[in-house]
Structure 1
Amino acid sequence: MLRALILSAVLAVPALAQEEMDLGQPPAGTYRPDPAHTRLWFIVDHLGFSKYMALFTRVDATLQFDPDHPEAMSVTAVVDVGSLETHNPATDYDFNAIVSGVDLLNAPAHPEATFVSTKVEVTGANTANVTGDLTLNGVTRPATFAATYNGGWGHMPLDPMGARAGFSLATTIKRSDFGIDFGIPEPGSKMGVGDEVQIFVETEMTNPDAPKP
């Protein structure tokens, strides 16, 4: 039922736009991810042959959103490291288990990765640098995400999840900074798995408690 309602909302947007319906802007409040429209993935160099990509399927966050005071906004995010998805079918070995295992992401010892923002620096009309404490493999280091606000609505009658705001985020970290150094190539070589890891997030966050006009 929920799926049908969301699909109806998406399909209805062009018709609503034609009627010049004012959907408003997302108001200040507490927002959480819409799981169907949230993805977190990473890219790392593999042997110099390819840029390997994988994602996490269980991501949660709490965003204190305030469009009038963006520098005052804050976010806390939690990633279930064991929810890694490599899209490699388990045949002779379980690649999900290998990458999330003790040599790499170490999910058995540290099942969660977290990010807690400490500062938001506005860089443009819809962009900001979000700095905070990233904890991975039990190690906490500062990290800065380049964030873009992609727009949203305050109230759309066919959206059962309330106010909605969309964001794109990206950062690059060194896994060695978090004590994950297995397979890093020797200097001058690409024989291994790269130290630098690019992280990307695409998300739509919703607030079902937002006031309705």
Structure 2
Amino acid sequence: MEADVIGRTIAMLALLAGMGAQPAIAQGASDAPAGNYALDLAHGRLLFRVNHLGFSRYTALFTRFDAALVFDPAAPESMSVTATVDTASLETHYPDASFDFNAILTGPDFLDAAAFPQITFASTAVKQTGPQTADVTGDLTLRGVTKPVTLNVTFNGGYAGHPLDAGARIGFSAEGSLLRSDFGLTAGIPAPGTTMGVGDRVEVMIEAEFLNPDAPKVLE
């Protein structure tokens, strides 16, 4: 396990530094093959932010989530993705250890992780909007309510393999938003015409790398 982590770290550093004869990967460039890809959580982040009193956008994240991607660079609009999020894995990094803000937000007044332990997303359509961008629409199920949500996705590139990395690797960035009131999360929403509270609109930001372990390993 330790060797695998070290190998992947070296591979990433090699790509950044252009080690040896390995060329840098241009944004969006890829020779990664079509196939089934799984999330590499070590290189994945799922953050969200909401307006707080009109003064800032409060930002938090989920630390445990998974995703599966059917990837086909020759037919982007045929691709699909499913994802699950462990609701209880919400992390606010609240600085006062005597107050468990994570427990408040995952409790019954908000996400209610005990009753709804997972948040899920299943794509229903992919619409290509540019050479490396697409709108991915899917069904988001949150707190037992399912609504359509669209993510604006950018393909950052990938490779078919690397001597220090097992299998093909691809990467994406995505952004989207939703109204939490659509999912029954109404606590703290400001009264109309004010900002005294926590906003209804939730912005979602995702960074994700996916691996296809079945792709032939590149030896040199």
TM-score range, shorter chain: over 0.9
Q: Quote the offset at 1:81 in angstroms.
A: 0.9
Q: Quote the offset at 1:8 in angstroms.
A: 1.6
Secondary structure of 2:83 counterpart: strand
Q: Which residue number in structure 1 is paired with residue 180 of structure 2?
A: 175
| Contact 2:150–2:176 under 8 Å retained in 1 | yes
Secondary structure of 2:13 counterpart: helix
- Could you tell me which runs of 5 or more consecutive residues in structure 2 were left unpaired when the two chains were aligned: none
- After superposition, the Cα gap between the structure-2 partners of 1:66 and 1:210, relative to the gap in structure 1 and judged at 3 Å, is same
Q: Quote the offset at 1:2 in angstroms.
A: 1.8
Percent sequence identity over aligned pairs: 55
CA distance in 2, matches of 1:187, 1:21: 51
- Could you tell me which runs of 5 or more consecutive residues in structure 1 were left unpaired when the two chains were aligned: none
CA distance in 2, matches of 1:81, 1:64: 24
2:132 corresponds to 1:130: no
Secondary structure of 2:43 counterpart: strand
- After superposition, the Cα gap between the structure-2 partners of 1:21 and 1:211, relative to the gap in structure 1 and judged at 3 Å, is farther
Q: Quote the offset at 1:19 in angstroms.
A: 4.9
| Contact 1:176–1:195 under 8 Å retained in 2 | yes
Q: Which residue number in structure 2 is paired with residue 44 of structure 1?
A: 50
Matched residues, number: 211
Q: Which residue number in structure 2 is paired with residue 94 of structure 1?
A: 100
2:142 corresponds to 1:121: no
When normalised by structure 2's length, the TM-score is 0.91
Secondary structure of 1:71 counterpart: helix
- 1:1-213 pair list within 5 angstroms: 1-13=3-15, 14-16=18-20, 18-20=21-23, 25-89=31-95, 91-160=97-166, 162-212=167-217
Matching residue's letter, 1:15:
M
- After superposition, the Cα gap between the structure-2 partners of 1:195 and 1:30, relative to the gap in structure 1 and judged at 3 Å, is same
- After superposition, the Cα gap between the structure-2 partners of 1:173 and 1:20, relative to the gap in structure 1 and judged at 3 Å, is closer
CA distance in 2, matches of 1:91, 1:6: 34
Over residues 118-152 of structure 1, what are the superposed CA-to-partner deviations in whole Å (9 max), with x where a residue is unaligned?
00001100000000100001000001000000001
CA distance in 2, matches of 1:106, 1:192: 20
CA distance in 2, matches of 1:130, 1:175: 19
Matching residue's letter, 2:203:
Q
Over residues 38-68 of structure 1, what are the superposed CA-to-partner deviations in whole Å (9 max), with x where a residue is unaligned?
0000010111121100000001011000000
CA distance in 2, matches of 1:209, 1:39: 24
Secondary structure of 2:107 counterpart: coil
Q: Quote the offset at 1:92 in angstroms.
A: 2.6
Secondary structure of 2:102 counterpart: helix
The farther-off stretch of 69-78 and 104-113 is 104-113
When normalised by structure 1's length, the TM-score is 0.94
Q: Quote the offset at 1:89 in angstroms.
A: 4.0
| Contact 1:24–1:155 under 8 Å retained in 2 | no
- After superposition, the Cα gap between the structure-2 partners of 1:20 and 1:191, relative to the gap in structure 1 and judged at 3 Å, is closer
